[in-house]
Amino acid sequence: MSDTHDATAAPSNDFVEDIVVVQETGGMVHFLLITYAPGDSGNAAGYVFRRPVGSDGPAENILATNDTLRQLWCSPNGQVWTTSSTGLVWTSAPVSWPDVMSPDLEFDAPEGGVSWHHVALPAQEHNRARPNPMAIWGTSDEDVHIATFGGVLYHWNGRDWTQFYPGIGEPIGAIRGRAANDVYAVGYGSTLLHFDGDDWTRIADPDGPDTRDLLSGIVFDEVGEVYISGKTRGGRVLRGSATQGFSVLGRYDAPIIDMGRVDGRLFFAATKQGVLELTPEGPKTLRDDIIPWSIAEGEGRIYVTETPGEAAYSEFDLASGQWRRLFY
């Protein structure tokens, strides 16, 4: 067995492998796999794969790098955006970023013929620290938001990066919206922020200013209401909007780390409690044999990633009620 690992080669069984993010866009499923030596996930290499929706065949490896990729989002026209804990942003979109290559950075696009661009996010203005992205979302390749561990929010407008620091200093772990002027970001310390297209504003926690929940997931319904999940204060789900404020929909005694909403059905990733669905009678367990890390929404299905050490994700078809476990 070799003592070294080529980060741009195919993942090896000598290393731990996790699929950490799944996204469905335009008939394709993209997912991010990281691989690392046991006990050294901070130095993971990143791989982006894709396969057609519904396929269980081998996925294409469209990016392989020794950069520590952690988050992935696909724009509505199918371009891929991914971020790393080193503060780099990668995209297949046709952006005009400077062609600067760090001497210790390696990457390849083994399959699919995808061209990649990467750039370092600007240092955080309030402390000059390197940002550590925790979430990414946008409405297009010219409107992309990134949330960070340091509590800074970055925005790409197709030409420049800008940043906003709310002064809270708490990690922001989820960001999602319905339009360019209606974006929410949530995180530690009951951080709940809204972007109206011009400015970010903080929204009060309905349980009071001293509440310190880990807000973890964001979903929307058809009539314009927003649902926010919490992990650490009794498994709360908040419901409301930036204009009307939020109230507590329910407390479900589950550590909700992520949510997904498909065809009017609300699903929870509840760590060791498994995958739950919120019904009129309360949470119903769908799977208690996996430890979910995230939930992603698809057309008529949800995708669930597992952690740790699982190079697989599970797909739940709502129409048939069938689960499939897929590898790369």
Q: What is the DSSP string of 56-118?
A: -SPPEEEEEESS-EEEEEE-TTS-EEEEETTSEEEESS---------TT--EE--STT---EE
Q: What is the pLDDT of residue 63?
A: 98
Q: What is the pLDDT of residue 1?
A: 24
Q: What is the pLDDT of residue 323?
A: 97
Q: What is the pLDDT of residue 2?
A: 25
Low-confidence ranges of the chain (pLDDT < 50): 1-7
Q: What is the pLDDT of residue 327?
A: 93
Q: What is the pLDDT of residue 110?
A: 96
Q: What is the pLDDT of residue 224?
A: 86
Q: What is the pLDDT of residue 9?
A: 54
